[in-house]
């Protein structure tokens, strides 16, 4: 327990008090999580992850420790980042569209991009997934839907990592493309129907609520862990603020969204990976970023630190190689 000089008569658990404040002890090397009463994860628990670059890091750590991480479409390069060939999903709109085409309908006006010069067929809604023809694209996508459904329906735990709030949206039908990139964009494809904007709190919350409703209708036993990715924006499309401010806005908005989403559902848990990386490790004097070209990514030590706490909090009975 910790005592209060500021609020006499009150006592707090150690995890409720800023580490090292007043006469209270520092947290040393461990981040003190609030108690968790949800289902424990074992090596036999079927786990699926989806989201930003950090979802890929979670995947690698779970596989390294021998957990039952669901892998579909292992032959597809886009499956490297998640449990199926969803590729990296930087925003909640792209996540919602995955759930809609997996469990319902997603019929955008523009289903495929055709690069003007090479005629390469590109999926606008997953990050630079390319095909030689629309027929081949549709065949692979039909298979992808089956794999996506199989992964999500078998999941006992789903980990969602929230990345950013910047989106490129179709002005006609409201669908959101992954990124303005790839051969279609590089070869001068028509982008006039797409508008860049910053998405806001309420619409991101509605996206998560839609994801929850679709998943629970098909797999009500699944427990969701949501986190904000500690990987920052490499660049911003915004013209009104710098990249660090834009990244802070994205992370702050999504953190607030995650808090309300978690408090609304007993089968959703927030895991503070972002806080561990961006606040706690710097307090301990520890570096958090990669060196070199991708210095907006968290380094291996930070990933290990975060996942060590994940395992200790949610799978405490499993002996791990890192301990």
pLDDT value of position 122: 98
What is the number of H-type helices and E-type strands within the chain? 9, 12
Q: Residue 173: inside a domain, yes or no?
A: no
Domain count across the chain: 1
Could you tell me which residues come within 8 angstroms of residue 266 by beta carbon, excluding any fewer than 6 positions away? Answer: none
Q: Residue 213: inside a domain, yes or no?
A: yes
- The model's confidence at residue 4, banded by pLDDT at 50, 70 and 90, is low
- Whether 323 shows a pLDDT value over 80: the answer reads no
Q: Residue 272: inside a domain, yes or no?
A: yes
User: What one-character DSSP code corresponds to residue 270?
Assistant: E
Give the Cα separation of 152 and 46 in Å (integer): 10
Backbone angles phi, psi at 192, to 5 degrees: -65, -25
CATH number at residue 265: 3.40.50.1110
Token pair of 189 as six digits: 């494809």
Give the range of the structural domain holding residue 295, as residue numbers without chain letter.
38-106+154-165+200-314
Could you tell me which residues come within 8 angstroms of residue 239 by beta carbon, excluding any fewer than 6 positions away? Answer: none
Q: Residue 245: inside a domain, yes or no?
A: yes
pLDDT value of position 103: 97
142 against 287, higher pLDDT: 142
Q: Residue 219: inside a domain, yes or no?
A: yes
Q: Give bridge partners of residue 50 from the DSSP assignment.
A: 160
Q: Residue 289: inside a domain, yes or no?
A: yes
pLDDT value of position 153: 98
pLDDT tens, position by position, 197-248 = 999 999 999 999 999 999 999 999 999 999 999 999 999 999 999 999 999 9
pLDDT tens, position by position, 263-283 = 999 999 999 999 999 999 999
- Whether 51 shows a pLDDT value over 80: the answer reads yes
In this structure, the chain runs to a length of 323
Q: Residue 216: inside a domain, yes or no?
A: yes
Q: Residue 139: inside a domain, yes or no?
A: no
Q: What angle do CA 311, 287, 49 make, to 5 degrees?
A: 35
């Amino acid at each position: 327990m910790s005592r209060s000089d500021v609020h006499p008569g009150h006592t707090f658990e150690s995890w409720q008090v800023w580490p090292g404040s007043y006469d209270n002890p520092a947290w040393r090397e461990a981040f003190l999580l609030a108690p968790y009463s949800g289902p424990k994860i074992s090596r036999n628990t079927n786990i699926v992850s989806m989201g930003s670059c950090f979802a890929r890091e979670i995947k690698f750590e779970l596989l390294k420790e021998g957990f039952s991480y669901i892998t579909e479409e292992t032959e597809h390069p886009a499956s490297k980042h998640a449990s199926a060939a969803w590729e990296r999903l930087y925003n909640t709109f792209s996540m919602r569209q995955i759930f809609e085409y997996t469990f319902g309908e997603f019929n955008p006006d523009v289903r495929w991009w055709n690069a003007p010069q090479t005629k390469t067929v590109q999926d606008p809604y997953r990050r630079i997934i390319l095909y030689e023809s629309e027929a081949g694209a549709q065949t692979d996508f039909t298979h992808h839907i089956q794999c996506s459904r199989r992964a999500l329906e078998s999941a006992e735990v789903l980990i969602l990592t929230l990345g950013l709030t910047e989106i490129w949206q179709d002005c006609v039908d409201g669908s959101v493309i992954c990124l303005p990139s790839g051969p279609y964009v590089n070869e001068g494809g028509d982008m006039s129907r797409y508008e860049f904007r910053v998405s806001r709190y309420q619409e991101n919350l509605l996206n998560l609520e839609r994801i929850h409703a679709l998943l629970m209708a098909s797999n009500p036993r699944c427990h969701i862990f949501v986190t904000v990715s500690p990987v920052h924006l490499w660049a911003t499309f915004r013209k009104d603020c710098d990249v660090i401010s834009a990244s802070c806005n994205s992370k702050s908005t999504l953190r607030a969204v995650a808090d309300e989403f978690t408090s609304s559902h007993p089968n959703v848990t927030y895991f503070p990976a972002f806080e561990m990386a961006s606040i706690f490790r710097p307090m301990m004097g520890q570096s958090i970023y990669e060196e070199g070209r991708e210095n907006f990514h968290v380094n291996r030590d930070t990933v290990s630190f975060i996942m060590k706490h994940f395992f200790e909090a949610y799978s405490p009975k499993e002996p791990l190689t890192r301990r």
